Each structure stands twice: as C-alpha cells, then as structure tokens.
C-alpha cells in the first residue's frame, strides 16, 4: 500500500493513478474473461436493486466497478437497438454473451473516462524499426495538429459532456427505479457558505493526521463565534428599528419675543422721529464718516522704488479750494461742530448712536412703568384666584342683589370683565393660563383721567368720614354676626344629601380620571422599560437556560463519574478472583496437554514398534518364499 513510493518511481504518475491501475487492471485476481449469461442477469438484477452503486455490485458479480458499469451500458445500448431496429442480443453460443471486441469504443475526439481499465500500449522494445518510425511520425503529426490550449479546451469539453451524460444516465436509471430527483441549478460563481475562497491547504507532514478528522467536536464550543455575530446583528437591527425620531430643540426666540422685537423696532422709529431735527433728516440712514487713509510717501530710489520714473520735475501742486487741502482725520468732525455752533444757542443737534439707544431705553422704561402703574390695586398687591368664571360671578351678583340699580349692575359687569382681563393679561404664578392667550378687550383711559377718578373717589371717601364720623368704615362693612349667619345659611344649604351625593360623585369621577391617567402613564413607562431592558431580559433568560443546561450536564457527568468509580471498585474486587480462576484453568489445560503429549508419545512409540515388527515379518516372509 505504499503508493506514494511507487508513484515516485514513475514519471507523471500520481499515487492515485498507480493504485487505480493496479486495482482496475493489473491485479491478477481481476477476471478479464468474457461475460456469461448468468453474470449479465445477476448484473441487471443488482442494478435494479442498487442503482449506480457499482462498488457494492462489483464484488458480488466478481468484476471491477468499471467493468460492471461498462457492461451495463453495453447491455442498455443493445436493448435500445433491439427495441428500435428489432435486433436481438446474440453471442457466439447460447449461454455466452458478446465478446470483448464488441465493447463500445470511443468516438473520434472522445476522452476515455477510465484509462486505468484498458490494456497497456505495446512496448516499443518489441517493435520493428519500421513500426517505431511510423509510430513516431504519427505522434508528431498528431502533436502538430492542435496547440496546447486547443487540446486542453477539447479535453475539458469532452469531460463536461461525459459528466452530463453520466448524470443523465443516472437520472434515467433512478426514474426507472421509481426515484424522482429534482435537478438543482448550478450557481454561478463561488458558494461562500460551502467553499473557502483562495483556500490553500497545508502540505502533508511526516505524521499521519487522518485520525484527527474523526475526532468528535465539542457541542458546547461549536459555532460560538458565529452565534455571537448573529446576536450582534440582531441587536444592531433592533437598535436601528427602535431608534427614536430626530427631535430638534425648541426655538430660542418664540413668537411672543418676535412680536416684542417688532414692537421695539416701531418704538425706535417713533423715537427717532421725535428726536430728529426735521422731516428730511429722519429719512436718512445711519451714516458715519469714514476714516480717511493716512497720506503715503511716494517711493523713491532711496526707499526701494528704483523702477519708478518721475513724470514731473517737482511736486508742484495746482491751486485748489480750501476744502481740498489735506488735513487731519478729525477735520470732518470739526466741520460738523462748527456747523452746529452756527445754528444758534438753542439749536438742537442730533446725537450719536449711543445717545439714541440711551433715549430709546429711557422711553421704553417709562412706557413700561406707566403700563404697570395702570394696573389695578388687586393685581399689584393683593392675592387673586387662579381661575375666574365670569358667567358664574355675574349670576351670583345678580341673584344676591336683585334690588340693584343700573349703576350697580354696570359696576358688577365691569368688575367681571376686569377680573377676566387681569387674569389673562397678568396671570397668577402657578396657573395654566399664559400671557399669550387673548384677553377680552377693555377700554383704555389716559393716565390723567385715571388720576382724576382716583382723586374723586378719595375726596368722596373723606367727605363720608367727615359727615358720618370715624366709624363709617365699620358701619359700611358687615359685622362678624352677619358673616357667621351667612356662613351658617350657606353651609346648611350645601350640607344636604343631594349635595353630598353630587360631591362624592365628583370625587369619584376625579379619582377615576386620575386612575386612568396614571394607568396610561404606567403603561407608557412599562413600554419604555421593555424597550430599555428588553435586551437584558433576553440575555438573562438565555444565561439562565444555559446555566440550567450546564448544571444538567454537570449532574450527568457526576453520575457517570460515580458509576465508573463504583465499577472500578467492583472490578478491582473481582479481578483477583478472575485471574485466579483463569490461572487455574490454564494450569488444568497445561496438565491435560502434558498428559495427552505423554500419551501421544507412548502411542507413537507403540506405532513405530508395530511398524518395525510388520516390516520384519514382511521381510521374513519374502525371504522364506
């Protein structure tokens, strides 16, 4: 079986070719005689039972696999020819098949798929000179007809055709046996799941490593890296799918601030119109005198201006107006100051940008102080409710004061409008109402009229005190007894069964709404927690499952270890008895063998003695005769 050493003794022969040549042709045990009828029947029967399993059929028939395949194809061709042209399968005699000369030959251009099964070519040593010359000439002509590439292409084409015919024959035989196979389309390119691109197997070493291929792989460590990669892909896909929408921050400048900026711009334009000198100056823009560049010294030869050619013999300047006379950078400011002084002592001069901004800030501060001063006393100093229902307030005032005159009713209506207006325009801290909500319009009065109204009220109050005494305020306000009676009456009206039921229903509805609101918040938080902790939960479950499996394996290994330990103890106890019994049996057999050997030697001696006596008797009888 040292085919590697055998192939090294030959040129261009691999160990596989040498081994195939021996087992397919050169082995003396190969039967090369013609096929008998019984062998053909056995071959056809086994081909139906085990289609395409020629290595299994060959030892049963007594031939090589290639001989069985070739004979089977020959029988199929003859059967097809018999069906087509009504020809019979006949041989030299009744029970002998066709001769070896009728074996199907290759067509021109075909390549033998099994070259190991053909007889060897004749040795040139046994040829004549003419035959050798003719053979070399034929080889030279054949070599010159085609190039290397054309030969290779033809060989590849023939191999592909042979593979196609073999697969077609296989499918036909399987179909005849009742087995249907689905044809798989060959993928173009390389299958990276099954093959390794650019794989370069390591060279064979000095030691045989074929036993390592059958080594069982550890199930716990198989495809661990691949599983991690798949888990990482799944986690990355989940992160991409669960990524939140891109939320921009809130704008730093809101609608209200933009409106305030526009209002400030209008106020600035108004202030400029007030501060400006005349109508013509207000339409001008903010122009500032540009600073004049300093005079430059002309470049001469001494200062590095060698290529400069003077165009005049001297720096003679023509007569110009005084305005064109060069002066310092502050000439424009001095001119403007002189112009202002020429307008008179009381002439107004337009200030700069800093003065204008200062005046604008002063005007805005004065306007803001006036606006805050126009607020009511309650808004400035007294506590106020967070919400005001003007309709309810109006109904209460009209019901409690049914005997009011028109003036009092007007006062109540104006009071409700003022409360609503102040609540929206000047909201209480902590309320849900913002200053941006639209307040009901009220009539704005000048500050002079408001001052006159306040003074009139104060004068009237002072006159009442002077006419009715110092206790006028106490008599105008209700007493503690009246307040207590009013409170008792209102409490008795409210504290009845219907109001209690209504109150409890209201409390129940509020609790129910709060419960729904908190349930929605809880479900939302639960979803967020599921999104945040879903990976950890899955990881925990996987680790728990793996831990349980590892624990089961540990328990099973422990049971096996204990079993083998017990078995070792039992075997250790039984081993001496077995050895003693076997030794006794061996001694008995040895004793029996010695006895039989002694008996055999004794019988052999008796036999030799008897033979000698018989020979002696024969000799004496022959001499006596």
In DSSP notation, 412-451 reads: HHHHHHHHHHHHHHSPPTT-S--TTSPPPP-----HHHHH
Low-confidence stretches of the chain (pLDDT < 50) are: 87-89, 91-103, 277-292, 306-307, 313-316, 346-347, 349
From 397, 437, 431, 400, select the one nearest 414 (Cα to Cα): 397
Same domain? For 75 and 97 the reply is yes
From 398, 428, 433, 432, select the one nearest 412 (Cα to Cα): 398
Same domain? For 521 and 463 the reply is no
From 433, 384, 436, 440, select the one nearest 417 (Cα to Cα): 440
- Across the strands, what pairs with 285? none
Contacts of 70 (CB under 8 A, 6+ apart): 103, 104, 114, 117
Residue 274 belongs to a domain:
no
The span from the CA of 226 to the CA of 231, in Å, is: 9
Tokens of 270: 């108004």
From 4, 2, 11, 14, select the one nearest 116 (Cα to Cα): 14
Query: What confidence score (pLDDT) does residue 178 get?
Result: 84
- Residue 345 CA: distances (Å) to CA of 333, 340, 341, 349, 416: 19, 9, 7, 11, 56
Same domain? For 550 and 574 the reply is yes
The span from the CA of 8 to the CA of 4, in Å, is: 6
How many C-beta atoms surround the C-beta of residue 72 within 10 A?
A: 21
From 121, 117, 95, select the one nearest 104 (Cα to Cα): 117
Residue 340 belongs to a domain:
no
Query: What confidence score (pLDDT) does residue 87 get?
Result: 47
Do 461 and 473 touch, CB atoms closer than 8 A? no
Same domain? For 389 and 470 the reply is yes
Q: What are the backbone angles phi and psi of residue 131, rounded to the nearest 5°?
A: -65, -40
Query: What confidence score (pLDDT) does residue 382 get?
Result: 66
DSSP per-residue string spanning 77-107: HHHHHHHHH------SSTTB---GGGSPPPP
DSSP per-residue string spanning 515-542: HHHHHHHHHHHHHHHHHHHHHHHHHHHH
Same domain? For 114 and 157 the reply is no
The span from the CA of 231 to the CA of 236, in Å, is: 9
Residue 71 belongs to a domain:
yes
Same domain? For 441 and 523 the reply is no
Same domain? For 56 and 103 the reply is yes
Residue 338 belongs to a domain:
no
Q: What are the backbone angles phi and psi of residue 96, rounded to the nearest 5°?
A: -125, 135
pTM of the model: 0.25
Residue 379 belongs to a domain:
yes
Same domain? For 475 and 502 the reply is no
Count how many residues are written for the chain.
625
**Structure letter (DSSP) for residue 317:** P
Q: Examine the fold and report which residue of 472, 487, 502 is the final residue of a domain before the chain moves on.
A: 487
Residue bearing tokens 């003679």: 316
Residue 157 belongs to a domain:
yes
From 173, 178, 164, 165, select the one nearest 79 (Cα to Cα): 173
Residue 117 belongs to a domain:
yes
Residue bearing tokens 């720096």: 315
DSSP per-residue string spanning 218-284: PGGGTTHHHHHHHHHHHHHHHHHHTPPP--PPPPSS-HHHHHHHHHHHHHHHHHHHHHSSSHHHHTS
Query: Residue 161 is part of which domain span?
Result: 135-178
Per the structure, how many domains does the chain have?
Answer: 4
Dihedral angle, C-alpha 146, 150, 152, 155, nearest 10 °: -80
Same domain? For 80 and 36 the reply is yes
Same domain? For 471 and 493 the reply is no
Same domain? For 443 and 456 the reply is yes
Same domain? For 385 and 453 the reply is yes
Residue 402 belongs to a domain:
yes
Query: What confidence score (pLDDT) does residue 284 get?
Result: 46
């Amino acid at each position: 079986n040292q085919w590697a050493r055998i192939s090294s003794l030959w040129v261009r022969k691999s160990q596989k070719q040498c081994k195939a040549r021996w087992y397919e042709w050169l082995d003396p045990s190969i039967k090369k005689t013609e096929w008998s009828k019984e062998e053909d029947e056995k071959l056809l029967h086994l081909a139906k039972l085990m289609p395409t399993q020629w290595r299994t059929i060959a030892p049963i028939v007594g031939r090589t696999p290639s001989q069985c395949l070739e004979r089977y194809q020959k029988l199929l061709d003859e059967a097809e020819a018999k069906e087509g042209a009504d020809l019979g399968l006949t041989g030299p005699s009744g029970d002998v098949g066709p001769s070896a000369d009728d074996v199907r030959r290759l067509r021109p251009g075909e390549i033998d798929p099994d070259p190991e099964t053909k007889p060897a070519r004749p040795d040139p040593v046994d040829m004549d000179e003419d035959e050798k010359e003719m053979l070399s000439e034929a080889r030279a002509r054949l070599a010159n007809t085609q190039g290397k590439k054309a030969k290779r292409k033809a060989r590849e084409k023939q191999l592909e055709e042979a593979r196609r015919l073999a697969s077609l024959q296989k499918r036909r035989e399987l179909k005849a046996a009742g087995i249907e196979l689905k044809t798989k389309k060959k993928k173009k390119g390389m299958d990276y799941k099954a093959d390794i691109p650019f794989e370069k197997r390591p060279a064979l070493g000095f030691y045989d490593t074929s036993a390592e291929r059958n080594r069982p792989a550890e199930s716990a460590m198989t495809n661990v890296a691949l599983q991690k990669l798949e888990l990482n892909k799944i986690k990355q896909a989940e992160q991409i799918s669960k990524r939140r929408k891109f939320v921009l921050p809130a704008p730093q400048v809101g609608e209200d601030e933009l409106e305030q900026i526009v209002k400030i711009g209008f106020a600035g334009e108004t202030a400029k119109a007030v501060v400006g000198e005349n109508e013509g100056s207000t339409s001008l823009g903010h122009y500032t005198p540009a600073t004049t560049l300093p005079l430059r010294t002309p470049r001469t030869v001494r200062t590095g201006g060698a290529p400069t050619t003077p165009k005049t013999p001297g720096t003679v300047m023509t007569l110009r107006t005084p305005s064109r006379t060069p002066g310092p950078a502050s000439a424009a400011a001095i001119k403007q100051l002189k112009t202002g002084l020429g307008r008179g002592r009381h002439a107004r001069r337009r200030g700069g940008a800093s003065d204008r901004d200062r005046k604008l800030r002063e005007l805005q501060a004065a306007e803001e102080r006036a606006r805050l001063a126009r607020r009511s006393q309650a808004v400035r100093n007294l506590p106020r409710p967070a919400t005001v229902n003007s309709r309810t307030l109006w109904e209460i005032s009209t019901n409690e004061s049914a005997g009011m005159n028109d003036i009092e009713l007007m006062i109540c209506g104006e009071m409700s409008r003022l409360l609503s207006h102040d609540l929206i325009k000047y909201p209480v801290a902590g309320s849900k109402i913002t200053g941006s909500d639209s307040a009901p319009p009220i009539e704005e009065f000048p500050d002079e009229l408001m001052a006159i109204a306040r003074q009139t009220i104060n004068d009237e109050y002072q006159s009442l005190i002077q006419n009715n005494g110092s206790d006028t305020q106490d008599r105008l306000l209700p007493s503690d007894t009246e307040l207590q009676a009013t409170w008792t009456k209102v409490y008795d009206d409210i504290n009845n069964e219907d109001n209690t039921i209504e109150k409890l229903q209201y409390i129940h509805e509020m609790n129910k709404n709060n419960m729904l609101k908190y349930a929605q918040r809880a479900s939302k938080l639960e979803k967020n927690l599921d999104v945040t902790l879903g990976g950890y939960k899955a990881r925990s479950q996987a680790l728990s499952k793996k831990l349980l499996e590892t624990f089961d394996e540990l328990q099973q290994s422990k049971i096996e270890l204990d079993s083998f330990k017990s078995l070792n103890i039992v075997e250790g106890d039984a081993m001496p008895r077995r050895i003693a019994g076997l030794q006794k049996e061996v001694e008995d057999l040895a004793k029996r063998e010695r006895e039989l050997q002694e008996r055999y030697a004794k019988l052999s001696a008796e036999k030799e003695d008897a033979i000698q006596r018989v020979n002696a008797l024969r000799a004496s009888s022959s001499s006596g005769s």
